[in-house]
Amino acid sequence: MMRIEVKVPQLPESVAEATLVAWHKKPGDAIKRDENLIDVETDKVVLELPAPGDGVLVETRKADGSSVTSNEVIAIIDTEAKGAAATAAPTKQPAKVAAAPAAAAEPVKTQPAKNEGTKSLAAAASPVTALPAARKILAEQGIDPVDIAGTGRGGRITKGDVLGAAEAKASTPPAVVQAPPQPSAEAKASPPPAVAKVPPAPAIRLPATLGSRPEQRVPMSRLRQRVAERLVQSQATAASLTTFNEVNMQPVLDLRNRYKEKFEKEHGVKLGFMSFFVK
């Protein structure tokens, strides 16, 4: 049995630890080389941790939201094991052989079910993977990732792909609504048919809880924690001081009024106060 350890990549010198955001695979799933296993968030960026080889994820040693350090082992991959889908395939083989005579007797009835199963397996085998920044924009814009062709590594959807799809969606002209045909003179002269009066709908009373904005407390990400720490540090260390200086601007006003017309004729621009301030 050949096992490969999945380790946290080497973090920068200024970053002591990172946080595991979310696992994309669970123990027992078959994985391929360079497939994204988990997103790792540091104080500055969100990284993708690819699989170092083909195999099956047999163990995850750290859960979502755990803090990790550089080169720490977080999962184990078995390169000789087979996934749950591969082990279940041999058990289904005898059933297919036993059902072969019945399928030959009734080819018309069994063919659509086979096609539907093939389509479902093909859809399940081609998941759409998007980068963390792209997933955020997809959720904000309400775009289906299936409609976007990824240009990243392994067909992943990047931030640029989502922005391009959002611009294309915004630039699509709205559907033209045709105006209803105008009635003829004979139709105008004839009296309109009687229309039954519809009783007004009863008023709906909203609960009192909807009157105020909902409140939800969630833990801050590592990036936001670092930003908040720097803001508090700058507020505590930077000097908050305001200085007022009174200056007699009357001589400057007189000099500007004396030469502003001549200056505008020679240079084509008006004489302002910035030249006096710089001088």
On whether the 132-169 domain is CATH 4.10.320.10, my answer is yes
Tokens of 146: 């299936």
User: Nearest Cα to 27, choosing from 63, 62, 66, 56?
Assistant: 56
Q: 134: Cβ–Cβ under 8 A, 6 or more apart, which residues?
A: 157, 158, 159, 161, 162
User: What predicted TM-score, i.e. pTM, was given to this entire model?
Assistant: 0.39
Given this model, what pLDDT does residue 104 score?
45
Q: Which residues of the chain have pLDDT under 50?
A: 85-92, 94-95, 97-126, 210
Given this model, what pLDDT does residue 95 score?
47
* Sequence ranges of the domains in the chain: 3-78, 132-169
How many distinct helices (H) and strands (E) make up the chain? Answer: 9, 8
Cα 34 from Cα 28, distance rounded (Å): 18
- Specify the CATH number of the domain 3-78: 2.40.50.100
> pLDDT by residue (tens digit) across 92-116?
454 454 444 444 444 444 444 444 4
> pLDDT by residue (tens digit) across 156-190?
788 888 888 888 877 766 555 565 666 555 555 55
Given this model, what pLDDT does residue 85 score?
45
Residue found under tokens 């969606």: 169
User: Nearest Cα to 28, choosing from 53, 3, 60?
Assistant: 60
User: Nearest Cα to 6, choosing from 55, 71, 83, 82?
Assistant: 71
Given this model, what pLDDT does residue 107 score?
46
